[in-house]
Amino acid sequence: MPWNEVDTMSLRREFVSLAAEPGANIRELCRRFGVSPKTGYKWINRYRLEGPEGIRDRSRRPKHTPGRTSPEMEKRVVKVREAHKAWGGRKIRDVLLRAGEREVPAASTITEILRRHGNLDPGESAKHKPFMRFEYETPNELWQMDFKGHFQTPVGRCNPLTILDDHSRFSVGLFACEDQRWTTVQARLTEVFRRYGLPERILTDNGSPWGSDLEHPHTKLTAWLMRLGIRVIHGRPFHPQTQGKDERFHRTLQAELLRYETFVDLVHGQEAFDRWRETYNHERPHEALGMEVPASRYRISQRAFPETLPPIEYGPGEIVRKVCNAGYVYYRGKPFRVGKAFDGYPVALRPAAIAGKMEVYFCAWRIATIDLKENETDA
């Protein structure tokens, strides 16, 4: 028969009373009362030992929980979470361990503590899924650079410029810029180069000020980088995943700082960026790095930034032309376009593998191929 909460105790008393009768068939009573023999015998034994109190429901919570997290540890977990609102169980556990805390619970336990305290957003948690990663083998082989979407301040727009080392995920630069002009980026990169040295390559997208499209991949900024001996790589158009690490950095910046801060002006914004960047590089464990911090894997480049660029020189006997007239060079009396980015610079023309064509080099980089049968470049 079905039992409800109201008459549970009376039915149990009736059961044990009938079971106490001489010659009682315990298994038949169990069948009649709808309980298993194991439960029936448990009630009978408890009633004999404890009387009516023995058949009341008992808490399933263990009397002794040696593995239970102490209230003090829970407070430490919550305190770290309050300071870093986007960090999950694994990051918090690693921070506590590195701080010398003892008996730090497992990451899954910390996640449950955060959930109990209302610190988890189910929607945000669902976004964090593992994915395949590729990285360069050593620091400074490749930096990724981009502008995160601008946001408004009371005195104008803030354009966050982010520069990330591919190998270590170390943020070599995070700047609150007033615009996205190439001169602004050059000034910020100069600061970074002076501190960390020069990378071998920089990966950018195809937007301003790095290059507009495949037909016009070079700008004044990329020409300056090429003069420094840095190879500029452009991601595939409409494929932001090419710069996946920097895109992920943008999401982290949004989740851990921008969603909680309102900046009065660019100075205020830069101060907040500097504090957060310090935390990101030196305190925040990175899952892709085996919970190490980016600073643990980063080393400055041995290629120092030259305060004065040497003149551009080419080999003896090479055909050298100065770019002028809005990005054109003249050869055999005809103009050929090589790009406005190189206005005023000398370039070298070298015979291509295909007859009737010449390759145009700026410093060590091929920037165009010209067809001597036409007045325009075909690449």
CATH fold, domain 143-296, is Nucleotidyltransferase; domain 5 (3.30.420)
The CA radius of gyration of the chain, in Å to the nearest whole number, is 35
For residue 53, what is the DSSP state?
G
pLDDT, residue 66, reads 54
Contacts 24+ apart (CB under 8 A), 264-271: 264/153, 264/154, 264/155, 265/153, 265/154, 265/155, 265/156, 266/153, 266/155, 266/156, 266/158, 266/176, 266/177, 266/178, 268/153, 269/153, 269/158, 269/176, 270/175, 270/176
pLDDT at 145: 94
What pLDDT was estimated at residue 3? 45
For residue 130, the model assigns a pLDDT of 41
Give the pLDDT of residue 113.
Answer: 77
Q: How far is CA 118 from CA 121, 184, 216, in A?
A: 8, 43, 51
190: phi then psi, degrees, rounded to nearest 5: -60, -40
Query: Domain limits of the chain?
Result: 8-55, 71-125, 143-296, 319-371
Strands 201-204 and 231-234: parallel
Per-residue pLDDT of the chain (379 residues; tens, 9 = 90+): 444 444 577 678 778 877 887 778 888 888 877 889 888 898 888 888 888 778 877 665 555 555 567 777 777 778 888 777 677 777 787 788 878 777 777 777 777 777 776 666 554 544 444 434 567 789 999 999 999 989 999 989 999 999 999 999 999 999 999 999 999 999 999 999 999 999 999 998 877 788 755 566 789 999 999 999 999 988 765 444 556 788 899 999 999 999 888 899 999 999 999 999 999 999 888 888 888 889 989 999 999 999 999 999 999 989 999 998 789 999 988 999 999 999 999 999 999 888 889 999 999 989 999 998 875 544 4
